[in-house]
Each structure stands twice: as C-alpha cells, then as structure tokens.
Structure 1
Amino acid sequence: MEKIVIDYIFRPFFVAIDGFKDVIGRNIQVISNYQETKQNNQRFKDKIEQLNYQLTKLEKIKNENQRLRKLLNFKERVPYQVVGASVISHSADNWSQIVTINRGQESGIKAKMAVVAEEGYLIGIIKRVTAHTSQVLLLTDQQFVTGGLVSRNASRDLGVVRGRKGSNKLLMNNLSWDADIVSEDIIVTSGLSGNLPKGLPIGEVISVSPDNYGLTQEAELNPFFDLNRLEEVLVITNFTTKTDVSLPPFNIDSLLIKGEE
C-alpha cells in the first residue's frame, strides 16, 4: 500500500525527469549534428579553396603557354638569333620605365640590343648588363629614341620615335612636312641605326599634327604591347640589316595580334 502511495506521489517527478532527460538527449543530438555539419562545411570549404587554387594555377599555366607560343611563333618567322628571358622586376619610380630580365652577359646579351615581346612587338632596348641580368629601357621611357618607318608601301616615310615623360604613348617627330602618314598607319623600326633590325612593329598612329611652325610633322603613337604586363621577352642578339620583317616573306600583317585566342 505504501509503495502505491509513493508511486502515486512521485510519479509526476519521474515523468518530469524522464522528459528532461529526453530534452537533454535531443539537445545533445542537435549539438552533435551541428558540430558534424560544421566540420563537413569546413571540409567542403577547404576542398573548394583547393579546387580554386588548382584552377588559378592551371589558368596561369595556360596563359604562360599562350605567351610562349607567340614568342616561339616570332622566333620561327625571322632569321634572328634570340635569347628568351623572364622579367624579374620593374622600376620602382615614376621617372624611368625600366624592367630587369634574368639573362645577361653569359647569355650573349649586350647593351643596345633590341628586346621584343609576343609576336615580335618592340618593347625596348638593353640598357645595362651584368653577368646574369640585364636592364631593359622600355620604349615609353623619355630616354628611348629609335628610327621609325611608316610600313605602308605607298609611304615608307621616316621619322624618329621617342618615349614621352609620364605617358604610355609615343611621339614620332622629324617627319617631313609632306610626309604621307595618317591615323592607323603602322610604324616599324627603320633599321638605319644598325642596332635594331628593320621592320619590328612599334606602334599605331593615333593622330598627326604640324610641328616646328609647319616645317615638319609629328605623330602620336599607341604602342602595340601593354608594357605593364610584361612577363617573357626575347632579346635579339644577332641579325642581318638586310632583313626587313615588314616586307614579304615576313609580312607585318602576320605579326600583328588580331585578337586573343
């Protein structure tokens, strides 16, 4: 009789305790599921980061292969001796436009040699050389000067191409007052100095205007290559001055990039 009374009195407490145990059990399960979900999410996140890294790496390799293929394309088109190099640093100041490459005297490189990028676009000349590195004076530097030639067969007029201080454009001046030069003309190296081959693409004419009180003309040029994204180059170590890559069989049209692949 006493047991029945005790059961009757304490049964609500036992039921409450069992209910409390169920609540605790469910909460523990929820916490456990949350921890497992959190760990799974972290694993997925790590996997996504790894895949993104691999994709970035593959894209970098793809772009590098495209650049190298274009350099090789130029090398196979022209009868020049060339040395491939990678850009390892850019000038840190705003006054000079210079990059350093990882090839020097031991690779046969000397001062004043021409340096080209993809498809043979002229990007500068060798300025200083050490045993294993070289400085390249870019054509946008105010100290850069070379002879320029209008590649159009009906013209072939000559001028001097210079870099412009604080600008990514080029200036071609010393053109005769009656020089046949118009917007969209292609300007190539004249080869008259003997340091650079004839016919290397320099840039495209943006505008033409009178200069020196109308006694001469000058033209503004847009370089073919974005010098801010230089990574690989070719240094032309030997060439024949009789070769003109802007004339057949090395036609200028075959050297110009028509669009990204």
Structure 2
Amino acid sequence: MAFTRATGKHRRPSKTRRATAGAAGIAGLATVGVVGSIASPAFAAGGGQGQNNLQQSPQLREALAAPISDTLDEQAYDQALRAEQAKAESEAKEEAAKAKAEAKRKADEAKREAAAEKAEKEHEAKVRAARAAERAKLNAYVLPVEGSYVSTGYKQGGGMWSSGSHTGIDFHAGMNTPVHSVAAGEVVEAGNGGAYGNNIVIKHKDGTYTQYGHLNSIGVSVGQSVKSGQQIALSGSTGNSSGPHLHFEARSGPEYGSDIDPVAYLRQHGVKV
C-alpha cells in the first residue's frame, strides 16, 4: 500500500507514520518467514514454487515499497517548501521594487513641483521688477542734454534779457545736439516762441511745466505724449541767441513769467546738475 497526500499545504510526513510503515513491513516479513518455514517441505518437493510465492506476497511488496514511498514524499515536500519560499522571496522583492519605484516617482514629482514653483516665483519677481523699473523710468527725471553742464545760471543779470535777468538756465550744446524731455508729460506748445526762437513747452504729471528754447528743429507736436528722456528736438541758435545752446526753464504754468528755479527743480527730482 503506497502513501499518498492530498494537495494543499505541504507537511513533512510524521515519525508516527514512518514508524507504522516500518512495523507493517517487519510484521509482513515475519509472517512470510513463518509461512516459509511451514511450507519448506513444499519448497523441497516443488523446487522454486515457494520462492515465487514469496516474491508475490503483498505484505512483502508493501514492506519493501514503504521506505521508498516515504523518501519520495519527503522529497516532494522539500521541493514544495523550497518553491513556496522562493515564491515568497520573489514576491517580497517585487513589492520592495514597486515601493522603491513609487518612492522615487513621488520624490521626482515633488522635485518637479518645487522647481516649477520656484521658476514661477522667479518669473513673477522678474515681472514685478520690470514693471517697477518701467514705472520708475516713467516717473524719473533726466538732464535735457545728456552729459552737459550749465553755462548760464538762473536770474543772471544782463542786457540780453528783456526782463533784465535770465528766466532759466542755459545748457552747453553744439548745433543739432539731441534735446530730451526731462520727464514724462504732454506737449502743450511746439513752434516759434518769439525771443525763444523755436521752442517746446511740456506739462508734466505733477502739474509743473518745462520749456526748451532756441531749437534748430522740433520733433514733437502739440497734444503728443512724451516719455522721460525721449528726444524731442535738436539744439540750435534761433530767436534771441548769441550761439548754439539750449535754454531750459521750469515753470509753475505754461506762460512766460511763471518761471521757478530750474536747478532746484531738477535736483528736487533726483537729477544731478
């Protein structure tokens, strides 16, 4: 009788089972021995007949087969156990690999999000800085003639001026030197200004006015908006002038006689004169 095991969990065959199989084999052998002793005359008479009966005894076959079956069963159990262990190890490694990949994916995603957020903040900061710079530029004041200096001061006396004194300041400038608006504003006068020759008057956002005289040519028109530092004309010597230069006035109103100290005006707005 061979030992069999149902499928499912594999368990190593118990010692009791192996002992039972061994006892059955010994009992079978003992029985066969007794039978053999009783039947010995028959062996003598019949020659090899007894030997054939011994080989065909079911007890003997079972006794001889039991140890072999036990060994095969144990081998099958060990193989199944190793297979289960290998499967468990493989699944554990697979889960570990998945967990590692997921952790890496989350870390990479977090890095991308952080980088995107940083880039967005930097972009916003640059936009704000550019807007602030543009606003500052729009509100900034500059010299009307770049790199120039005052050649005739404010309220300087002399017979050249009908009022008896200089109502503005003169900036040194050769013929056709670019003339710029000192600040953003709107052109309220552009053309011949009598003693001022070709002149421009600009109204600024703070309600003050600036005037540019003795121009050789005018590049803007009345009603036009200009930016701080925008070129509006070329210097010259038109009107009551002794040579090429720029006459510059700061005024509280658009008309002659509303002049204020142009040097103090420019310095008040951050211009070094």
Q: TM-score range by the shorter chain?
A: 0.3 to 0.5
Normalising by the residue count of structure 1, what TM-score does the alignment of the two structures yield? 0.35
Q: Which has the larger radius of gyration?
A: 2
Determine which structure has the larger strand proportion and give its number. 1
Normalising by the residue count of structure 2, what TM-score does the alignment of the two structures yield? 0.34
Task: With a CA cutoff of 8 Å and minimum separation of 6, indicate the structure with the bigger relative contact order.
Answer: 1
Determine which structure has the larger helix proportion and give its number. 2
